């Protein structure tokens, strides 16, 4: 058959969550603590124009999901990536070995988004999405329950513990495949 099992030696990890929950911060720290490569999908979309223009209403790029998947296919097959993005439902399920969903309390998330100079509409939308756990639900609809981990990202201590937990998970993943 054409179905091939993943042969990667290093895992691929998806770090997702509502804007402001700490995806990029966590991905950078994790990448610095391991040999995993951070891929900031939002930046990639901008740099490589993997979009269909700017959405004025939602103040964001209209992502060309097929182009993003084509761009990342070989990189993901090689393994060893930390993929940082807030939309999860269009990536192939087979790409990921672990899906981390970061969660932040609304009273903590609100000032983080304010500090980003987001419009009040955009702040409101994101805080509501976080309360409704939209991204967690999307992740559950897209990946197996046993590869999803939901982590609190309210404090710096949370962040440090989360990086350490995922670093240890990656180390175990590699060990389990070395024999
Ligand atoms: P995202 O990539 O999910 O939009 P960022 O990593 O850019 O989020 O984080 C947004 C802001 O919140 C940054 O200023 C970051 O330093 C801060 N931040 C993120 N996570 C935490 C945390 N767990 N504790 C304290 N500050 C955090
Ligand atoms: Mn980010």
Radius of gyration of the chain (CA): 16
Atom 8 of ligand 1 has which residue's CA nearest to it? 22
Distance, CA 38 to ligand 1 centroid (Å)? 16
Q: pTM, whole model, 2 decimals?
A: 0.96
Give me ligand 1 centre to Cα 124, in Å. Answer: 17
pLDDT in tens, 55-72: 998 888 999 999 999 999
Q: Could you tell me the distance, in angstroms and rounded to a whole number, from the CA of residue 1 to the centre of ligand 2?
A: 39
Selection from 77, 75, 27, 70 nearest residue 50 by Cα: 70
Q: Ramachandran region of residue 99, left (φ > 0), alpha (ψ -120 to 50) or beta?
A: beta
- Work out the mean pLDDT of the chain and round it to a whole number: 95
Closest CA to 73 of 100, 39, 102: 39
DSSP 10: S
């Amino acid at each position: 058959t054409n179905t091939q099992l993943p042969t990667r030696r290093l895992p691929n990890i998806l770090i997702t969550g509502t804007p402001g929950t700490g995806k990029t911060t966590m991905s950078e720290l994790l990448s610095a603590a391991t040999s995993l490569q951070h891929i900031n999908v939002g930046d990639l979309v901008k740099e490589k124009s993997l979009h269909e223009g700017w959405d004025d209403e939602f103040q964001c790029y209209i992502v060309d999901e097929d182009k993003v998947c084509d761009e990342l296919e070989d990189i993901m097959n090689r393994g060893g990536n930390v993929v940082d993005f807030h939309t999860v439902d269009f990536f192939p399920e087979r790409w990921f070995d672990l899906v981390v969903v970061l969660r932040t309390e609304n009273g903590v998330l609100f000032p983080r988004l304010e500090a980003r100079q987001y419009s009040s509409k955009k702040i409101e939308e994101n805080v509501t999405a976080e309360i409704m756990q939209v991204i967690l639900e999307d992740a559950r609809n897209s990946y197996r329950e046993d590869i999803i981990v939901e982590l609190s990202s309210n404090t710096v201590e949370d962040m440090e513990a989360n990086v350490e937990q995922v670093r240890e998970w990656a180390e175990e993943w590699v060990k389990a495949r070395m024999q």
